[in-house]
């Protein structure tokens, strides 16, 4: 049995106990979280929000680029969110990533180098600040008054704000 089949079995149990009360699409707490995809971080649990409360955008690193600005623009323009919470974390695979080594490894399997940037970073706090800047400098994100960035410590569960 594959993991995917196991997840589907778990979903059947979940759906049986599902509360059919319909939630609106617009996040109740008007916040969008942009976080790393890391398996040890569960944004809803770590930040104490529930179903229907927040948009959650995630990628390798929790960094902000055009694709994340697209999601954030949709979140704010169409679905009314107003605050942005950015989360990187300790022990991230993108921190200190040797991009050249990974590109070479990918090329050896794919037959050509990746046609996209790998987007590693060498300083965790600086990467958070850079992501904050990308949001606050984007004219396509209407609400830029509350854009705050954090490092999630996988060792303690604590969020540490980056100023």
* Binders of a second copy in range 120-149 (CB under 8 A): 139-140, 142, 146, 148
- CB 126 → a second copy: shortest distance, Å? 20
- CB 127 → a second copy: shortest distance, Å? 15
- Half-sphere CA count of 122, side-chain side, radius 13 A: 2
146 and 82 Cβ atoms separated by less than 8 Å: yes
- CB 27 → a second copy: shortest distance, Å? 4
* Residue 36 to residue 140: CA distance in whole angstroms: 22
- CB 100 → a second copy: shortest distance, Å? 13
Instruction: Scan residues 30-59 and list those touching a second copy (CB under 8 A).
Output: 30-32, 37-40, 42, 44-49, 51-59
Task: Give 71 or 125: the residue with its C-beta nearer to a second copy.
Answer: 71
* Residue 89 to residue 137: CA distance in whole angstroms: 23
Instruction: Scan residues 74-93 and list those touching a second copy (CB under 8 A).
Output: 74-75, 77-79, 83, 85, 91, 93
> Rounded to whole angstroms, what are the CA distances from 72 to 48, 112, 157?
21, 32, 25
Instruction: Scan residues 101-120 and list those touching a second copy (CB under 8 A).
Output: 102, 105-106, 109-112, 114-119
The verdict on 163 binding a second copy (CB under 8 A) reads no
> Rounded to whole angstroms, what are the CA distances from 163 to 10, 18, 30, 128, 133?
41, 40, 22, 9, 11
Helix, strand, or coil here: 134? Answer: helix
Task: Give 46 or 124: the residue with its C-beta nearer to a second copy.
Answer: 46
* Residue 57 to residue 104: CA distance in whole angstroms: 29
116 and 59 Cβ atoms separated by less than 8 Å: no
The verdict on 4 binding a second copy (CB under 8 A) reads yes
Instruction: Scan residues 12-31 and list those touching a second copy (CB under 8 A).
Output: 12-15, 18, 20, 22-23, 25-31
């Amino acid at each position: 049995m594959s993991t995917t089949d196991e997840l589907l079995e778990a979903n059947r149990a979940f759906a049986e106990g599902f509360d059919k009360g319909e939630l609106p699409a617009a996040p109740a707490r008007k916040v969008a979280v942009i976080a790393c995809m890391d398996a040890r971080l569960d944004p809803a649990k770590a930040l104490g929000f529930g179903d229907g409360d927040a948009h959650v955008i995630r990628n390798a690193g929790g960094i902000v680029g055009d694709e994340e600005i697209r999601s954030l623009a949709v979140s704010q323009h169409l679905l009314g969110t107003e605050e942005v919470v950015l989360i990187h974390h300790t022990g991230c695979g993108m921190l200190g990533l040797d991009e050249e080594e990974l590109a070479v490894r990918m090329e050896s399997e794919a037959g050509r180098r990746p046609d996209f940037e790998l987007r590693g970073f060498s300083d965790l706090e600086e990467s958070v600040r850079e992501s904050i800047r990308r949001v606050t400098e984007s004219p396509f994100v209407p609400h830029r008054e509350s854009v705050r960035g954090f490092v999630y410590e996988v060792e303690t569960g604590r969020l540490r704000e980056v100023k």
